[in-house]
Amino acid sequence: MSATAEILKTELSETGNESNALTDGFHLLIDALKLNDVETIYGVPGIPITDFGRMAQAEGIRVLSFRHEQHAGNAAAIAGYLTKKPGICLTVSAPGFLNGLTSLAHATTNCWPMILISGSSEREIVDLMQGDYEEMDQLAVAKPLCKAAYRILHAQDIGIGVARAIRAAVSGRPGGVYLDIPANLLGQVMDEVEGAQSLVKVIDPAPAQFPSPIAVNRALEVLKAAKKPLIILGKGASYAQCDELVQGFVEKTGIPYLAMSMAKGLLPDDHPQYAGAARSLVLKESDCVMLIGARLNWLLSHGKGKQWGEPNSKKFVHIDIDPKEMDSNQPIDAPLVGDIESCLTALMDGMGGDWSKSDAAWLGAIQEKAEANVAKMAPRLQNNSVPMDFHGALGRLKRIFTDHPDTILVNEGANTLDFARSVIDLHKPRKRLDVGTWGVMGIGMGTAIAAAVETGHPVVAVEGDSAFGFSGMEVETICRYNLPICVVVFNNSGIYRGTDINDVGADPATTVFVKEAKYDMMMQAFGGVGVTANSPDDLERAVREAIASRKPTLINAIINPEAGTESGRIGNLNPQSVVSKK
């Protein structure tokens, strides 16, 4: 027993407390997390949280150790999205904390619940800037980058601290929360019974938020008056996990819909009302757009510009849990503030039984356009060229995802991302996990690991070769935990293309990599399966085998280095220099 524990024991017995049993910060923190159903922690060990990780594991929490905190954090962020419970990331002080902070900011930007728990140095030394081991005022650094940030200084406050963190992460618009754990908190001792009494089980952490009846009626009036309505489903709608209600609402209205990237599969992508293959037409010509858990941010060109047709030609209905989202980019005619489940339930009730479905001419025009676009694309998806292009490779993956609707697709890159998003259909909710609102490269392996851990389903991560490089070392983590993950690296030997040449010096161009690097050997190095695929046939065979075997697999898919375009589909966002080049 430590000296402090001895003193405390004596004090407690002097005050008449005879239980004598003690607990400490380590155990209180573990008990607080367990009491609130935390099952998994993603992190990297080190001072001062190594023993905490060990003890949590011994107490039945699954603790997954990563090679870099950013990927542990990305795992926690996507675990939050998939489960509606905060994903937990555990890091060491200053540098480990900073590595984890990127993913905490990413979770916040995407409205996903996550808690970054980080060990920190002693307050007294940090605040006097006396140069402690890994000294940093972490709370101050975290604050502007997440939804809420708390520090716990006393063991008796651990229960409340954890409760606040959980509620802040999941209630209202979900987001990232920072929880600062100074090293000496973990060793603080208190009476075991009092400790247990100090813990808090959070009741109803994300309370339903009902829309006002006036707002519901207003929304129904706007929808009723529309001649060419359109629904846009965003990842807030898939996060809400009221899948049948969303499907029921879309079908009852008969309104055609678009799905934002991670909302794909919320209704099956081959649904007759899905207007994905006629995206330009519906955005331009619709007269009323209903956003359900989607923001009018850059991903929707802020709801304006040529893509959106004539200015002021549309009315907007917007469901979001955050009132500040209304009128953020366009005036909203019918704001519906509340959680999606409550809002859609109220709308369904208000619609009654005799809601007349959307105009047949509008649906017919969309269907005609969609069919023409699908027919135009079909031969490209069937091409069997060697070296492969994006479409030849993705045409095969599309078939595989249709045959395996439970398999989760993780996707990042530029061309690899944009083409895979439009080619691969998903048939169930929350099966597509990608770069999210920021377009972050590096989410790949952390996301794949959490997807496999949280769902038990096989994961196929379709990765640009650059994108993969950001988190590639985590293939060791995949092998160590023997996860059913198949990484497909779309290897075009570079960022966007593998063909750039630097004609003014000896260094390679900034966007090219070692030609046809053997990424498959990285997986082999740790005991997994590594394969090179030169043709669509090779690729299809290897992916099917990986899904069936559930063995960690990396397929190095050699893609024609000329096949991609600068920045994929968002090349227009690159600033142009007005100074003529040499």
Which residues form the interface with ligand TZD (CB under 6 A)? 413-416, 439-442, 464-467, 490, 492, 495-496, 564, 568
Contacted by 414, from Mg ion, ligand TZD, ligand ADP, none: CB < 5 to 8 Å by type = ligand TZD
Of 20-28, 229-237, 512-520, 524-532, which segment contacts ligand ADP by CB under 6 A? Answer: 229-237
339 versus 434: smaller Cβ distance to ligand TZD = 434
Q: Which of 105, 111, 288, 495 binds ligand ADP (CB under 6 A)?
A: 111
53 versus 564: smaller Cβ distance to ligand TZD = 564
Helical segments of 228-301, H only: 235-239, 243-253, 279-285
Compute the least distance from the CB of residue 257 to Mg ion, in Å. 32
> What is the number of alpha carbons within 13 Å of residue 393 lying toward its C-beta?
31
Compute the least distance from the CB of residue 413 to Mg ion, in Å. 6
Compute the least distance from the CB of residue 376 to ligand ADP, in Å. 26
Name the packing angle between helices 69-83 and 94-109 (round to 10°).
30
Q: Check binding of 235 to ligand ADP (CB under 6 A).
A: yes
438 vs 316: CA distance, rounded Å: 24
Residue nearest to ligand ADP (CB): 236
Q: Check binding of 79 to ligand ADP (CB under 6 A).
A: no
Compute the least distance from the CB of residue 399 to ligand ADP, in Å. 26
Phi, psi of 360 (to 5 degrees): -65, -35
Q: Which residues pair with 494 in a beta bridge?
A: 512
Q: Which two tokens stand for residue 465?
A: 């070769």
Closest CA to 526 of 489, 466, 473, 486: 473
Beta-strand relationship, 22-24 and 189-191: antiparallel
368 versus 562: smaller Cβ distance to ligand TZD = 562
Tokens 């019974």 found at? 193
69 vs 90: CA distance, rounded Å: 8
Contacted by 239, from Mg ion, ligand ADP, ligand TZD, none: CB < 5 to 8 Å by type = ligand ADP
Q: Check binding of 263 to ligand ADP (CB under 6 A).
A: yes
Contacted by 437, from ligand ADP, ligand TZD, Mg ion, none: CB < 5 to 8 Å by type = ligand ADP
Interaction residues for ligand ADP, span 140-199 (CB under 6 A):
173
Q: Which two tokens stand for residue 552?
A: 């960690």
Interaction residues for Mg ion, span 437-476 (CB under 5 A):
464-465
Closest CA to 408 of 295, 529, 550: 550
374 vs 277: CA distance, rounded Å: 7
Q: Check binding of 434 to ligand ADP (CB under 6 A).
A: no
Compute the least distance from the CB of residue 380 to Mg ion, in Å. 19
Q: Check binding of 492 to Mg ion (CB under 5 A).
A: yes
Closest CA to 301 of 275, 326, 283, 324: 283
150 vs 155: CA distance, rounded Å: 14
CA 437, distance to chain mean position in Å, is 9
Closest CA to 457 of 466, 465, 449: 449
Contacted by 229, from Mg ion, ligand ADP, ligand TZD, none: CB < 5 to 8 Å by type = none
Q: Which of 52, 239, 468, 519 binds ligand ADP (CB under 6 A)?
A: 239
Q: Which two tokens stand for residue 557?
A: 């898919």
Residue type, 294: A
Q: Check binding of 546 to ligand ADP (CB under 6 A).
A: no
Contacted by 568, from ligand ADP, Mg ion, ligand TZD, none: CB < 5 to 8 Å by type = ligand TZD
Compute the least distance from the CB of residue 221 to ligand ADP, in Å. 21
Q: Under the rule (CB under 5 A), what is the footprint of Mg ion?
A: 464-465, 492
